[in-house]
């Protein structure tokens, strides 16, 4: 492997919506690819806090002379072109550190991709992206939440709870409950040899506390309700 597409995740990844507006300059007022590029450039001309950089500018839909919901405006006739985009930013220091780690392993970074976007490309169908869906990607240290609608991401968030909570239970619980120390390798052996997923309680199964993991559905619901309101409420009530 010489090059990779590097997935980015974590609380330092932020997203917000923006809009760009231009006058159509094409011949006979026909929208061209250059007009689309200028509209997107206008949408991403925003002031960022120090230490932030733009990772993605994701077009959501276009508006041509008050005709909204347009996915491909090239070839249409009009005098005014607007575009709604979702801008994803990241901490410059965080991205530089992870790129440096990859480079030191002898691999070049071809492109940085937000993990919600990469996961959406992997598992969602075109219809799901168009109709709208909440994508929940449970990782090791964090759970990434993305709301996809009209073919693009309209909101993303990160929750500091992931699979590591379950992974660490055989190590953390004996220490907290009985002041016994257990190595990480011991925890892995416990999970492989004795781990079970059960629907009903069993007298021979010792249940470990999983309060943080059990809160995950509520935290995901709260995350999608943050913004935008009309999308968050719809996803939380109907699942899409």
pLDDT digits 0-9 by tens, 177-229: 444 545 555 555 665 565 555 555 555 444 544 555 555 556 666 665 565 55
pLDDT at 1: 83
Bridge partners of 89? 14, 54
d(CA 102, CA 93): 14
C-beta atoms surrounding 200 within 10 Å: 5
Closest CA to 12 of 85, 92, 112, 100: 92
Report how far apart, in Å, the C-alpha atoms of 230 and of each of 85, 95, 132, 210, 224 are. 17, 32, 12, 32, 10
- Biggest CA-to-CA distance, the chain: 79
pLDDT at 64: 95
* Token couple for 88: 């994803």
C-beta atoms surrounding 203 within 10 Å: 5
Bridge partners of 22? 81
Closest CA to 137 of 116, 161, 113, 165: 116
Tell me if 34 sits within 8 A of 21, measured CB to CB.
Answer: no
pLDDT at 123: 87
pLDDT at 239: 44
pLDDT at 18: 92
C-beta atoms surrounding 108 within 10 Å: 12
pLDDT at 103: 94
- pLDDT tens track of the chain, all 240 residues? 899 999 888 888 888 889 999 999 867 899 999 999 999 999 999 999 999 999 999 898 899 998 998 989 999 999 999 999 989 999 999 999 999 999 999 999 999 998 888 888 888 888 888 888 888 887 777 777 778 776 677 777 777 766 666 666 555 555 444 445 455 555 556 655 655 555 555 554 445 445 555 555 566 666 655 655 544 444 444 444
Dihedral over alpha carbons 158, 226, 146, 217 (to 10 degrees)? 70
3-state secondary structure of 83: strand
Hunting for tokens 């990772």 — which residue is that?
55
């Amino acid at each position: 492997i010489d090059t990779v597409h590097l997935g980015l995740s974590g609380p330092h990844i932020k997203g917000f919506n923006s809009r760009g507006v231009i006058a159509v300059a094409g011949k006979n007022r026909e929208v061209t690819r250059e007009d689309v590029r200028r509209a997107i450039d206008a949408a991403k001309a925003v002031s960022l806090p120090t230490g932030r950089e733009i990772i993605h500018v994701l077009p959501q839909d276009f508006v041509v002379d008050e005709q909204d919901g347009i996915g491909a405006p090239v070839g249409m006739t009009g005098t005014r072109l607007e575009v709604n985009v979702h801008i994803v930013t990241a901490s410059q220091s965080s991205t530089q550190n992870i790129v440096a780690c990859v480079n030191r392993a002898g691999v070049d970074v071809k492109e940085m991709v937000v993990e919600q976007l990469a996961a959406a490309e992997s598992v969602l169908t075109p219809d799901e992206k168009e109709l709208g869906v909440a994508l929940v990607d449970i990782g090791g240290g964090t759970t990434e939440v993305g709301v996809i609608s009209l073919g693009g991401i309209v909101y993303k968030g990160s929750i500091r709870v992931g699979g590591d909570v379950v992974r660490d239970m055989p190590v953390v619980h004996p220490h907290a409950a009985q002041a016994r120390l257990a190595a990480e390798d011991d925890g892995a052996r416990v999970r492989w040899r004795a781990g079970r997923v059960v629907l009903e309680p069993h007298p021979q199964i010792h249940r470990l506390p999983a309060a943080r993991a059990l809160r995950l559905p509520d935290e995901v619901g709260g995350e999608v309700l943050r913004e935008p309101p009309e999308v968050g409420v719809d996803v939380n009530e109907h699942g899409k």
